Structure 1
Amino acid sequence: MLKQRGRVLTAAVVAVSGAVIATSNSEAAFSRTVMLRGEQAADLPVGVTYRGSAASITINQSGQVAFVDSLIGPGVDSNNDIAMFSEGSGTLKLVAREGSDAPGANPGDAFWTLNGHISDTGDVAIRSRLKGAGIHDVNDWGMWSGNAGTLSKVIREGDQAPELSGGTLIDGIFFNDGLPLLNNAGHTAFFATLTGTGVSSANDRGVWTDANGSLSLVARKGDGAPGTPTGVNFSHFSGLVMNDADQVAFRGTLSGAGVNSDNQLGLWIGDSNSLTKIIRTGEAAPGTVPGTKFDSLGSFAINDTGQSSFFGRLGLGGVINTANDTGIWTNSNGSLSSVVLEGEVATGAGPDAFFKTFSAINLGNTGHTTFFATLDGAGIDSTNDQSIWIENAGTLTMLAHEGDAAPGHDPGIVFGNFSSVISNKAGQVVFTAFMDGPGITGTNSLSIWTADTNGQLSQLLQTGDLFDVDDDLLAEELRTVSSFQYMTNSYTGRGHGTAFNDVGELAVRINFDDGSTGVFVLDTNAIPEPASLALLSISGLALLSRRRSPSA
């Protein structure tokens, strides 16, 4: 359940006529405690508790959370001290534990490492390495999906390669950032290398998905690349992502007739029935001077309607040089167009500020592209060269700028460096920011912020805040925030799980100055306007706060 948290930055509490008033420059948020260090671990023997080093913390659209944590307690050792837990069945349950037998494997073949995330179906995807008497480097990695009591194997090294001739085996399974793919429809996709019958260096890798109900081949090395001339074939795959419409997208490297270093890369989207080329190097780059072509393609994003945004680098020559050869492009406006180009004016960041570099690219379901950018130009230095932006229908809006005043704080308190920038499909952005100015020290300088599509900024959490870890409406247990972490990766929300769902809930690990830690859900939509009075209790009356339970 979500409980309103009154966070206090000053620790000054004044008693006035029976009222307890705490002054604060922060805001109040709604939150829910998922797990606290030292609590009994779900579905494990009495005395086995959470260590509180939670990682791979993800959340689905129902507010259900999954995470991996270390364990301590009776019978726990280095062979069984890692476990994955999920709220996907409605309450927190054990899904898998190191040392337990892996479904679909021989008895004694056990999970060794665990990494994964939760989807909207409540199922989780797990990538794990196995250990046991029959485990070797040819069959030790695999992927599983399901929930507590229903976990099943998706694919494992050494398995027969789906839809290929007998004796063609899966040799290696690969995912971006080590995270297994599972979209919110409960379907998966993966890269794999091959070995065995009929396999050579010309056809030893492929891409699969189970979107049609069983694992199907999407593309294989040596296949003709759709949208290219006959004789141009796939030679490598990378950057695999998947949307909730069961489309996969990837970066393909090409070989064959007419392929050279100027045109060997491309992006494709589709499924096991058909693939469509998005762009290829050597093709014209819209929004630039005629004759300018793409030289390389970097990170990219897709949304659930099949639209895409991507980072590109231009070929040098003419007016294109190393000061203006990069940018972001999208086809979300109906045809391929530039979102932003290196060297363009960064409106609102200073009269002479221009864009320098780009990262953290994401694309929402309404066609808005969000990104992080560094800036350059007269008046720009290390104190104001970072920024976060959103583009929608050709209009760029700056959401946050290093060096600008931090909203809701005293005069002189400004944003420092930004990090951990992620966005959801609704176009909301979450990021961490260091702050500087009067009263800011090493104990209260780090904060989490959210920005909506209109550029409205709200602070969610700050080190030094008092945070209530007790979900009981009529009780509180305040602890001082010392640090926090939430999951960020280059492929957030594109089948790889997310810490920030589309209804604005953030799953985060918070560490406190007494050494305790826990996993919490913070609701970014329930932040009221900044106020100077954060806690109020009069004549023994208790303020009741709204709470919300994760859906079963």
Structure 2
Amino acid sequence: MKKLITLMSVALVSPLSAGLVAHYTMDNDADFGENSGSATIGLNSISGIGATDGKFGGGAEFTVGSSVFWTNQFGSANTDLSQFTVSMHVRTTATASWKDYISFGTNNSVVFVFESNGASPQSVSLYNIGDVGGVASSAISGTPQINDGNWHHLGLTSDGANITFYIDGAAIGSTAYTGTGTITAFQLASRFGEGARAINSDIDDVAVYDEALSATQMEYLSNNVATVSAIPEPSSMTLLGISSLALILRRRR
């Protein structure tokens, strides 16, 4: 009977259905642009990136003035602005404010950015530059220190009504967002269309999903490599099924 319960519990757990369209693990130092996600995404330019130890395996070292990683071909992933998730890990001791760890959107300076802010100690904020998807959204400012030389997780989810910003697996804040269209522009360690926003930072395990992940899944990604099924989440049917099995066992006793 215990074996039956285990098998039924596993069967009732619903794996994440979101598609991992882009996944830059940074493990292959011969090709940091290697994408293990489901979409075929060409890169316009990738150069000057160094190899370093990552949060998981290898990582990528970005240096202002030499490192480049950008594409305006992200549209091939067909990632809608109303349903997506971005997850990444960064490590830096940079002190300059208003520098971007990542930018993604629809055009030059029409992007969401994870940007170093003027907080003390320095943290990261989410900004919607140029009204991505035709809709403005308020900034979400973080306060946890980022530039302490340790690895930190940054993430964003969009569910069609709101965007939520995460630091180290915890939701920092949410704001209304109903933009439309698909992500076409994507750049690491700088702002798409504005090179002055480049930052010195190590980056690892950059992932883009075509659905909004849950808070539990984002917490999981803060400490684990991104996978197609970021984390299995029990559905309401799972809990109902397990409860029913437990009740049957009690009655048999």
Structure 1 length-normalised TM: 0.21
Higher strand share: 1
Structure 2 length-normalised TM: 0.37
Instruction: Give 1 or 2 for the bigger CA radius of gyration.
Output: 1
Q: Which has the higher contact order (CA 8 A, sep 6+)?
A: 2
Higher helix share: 2
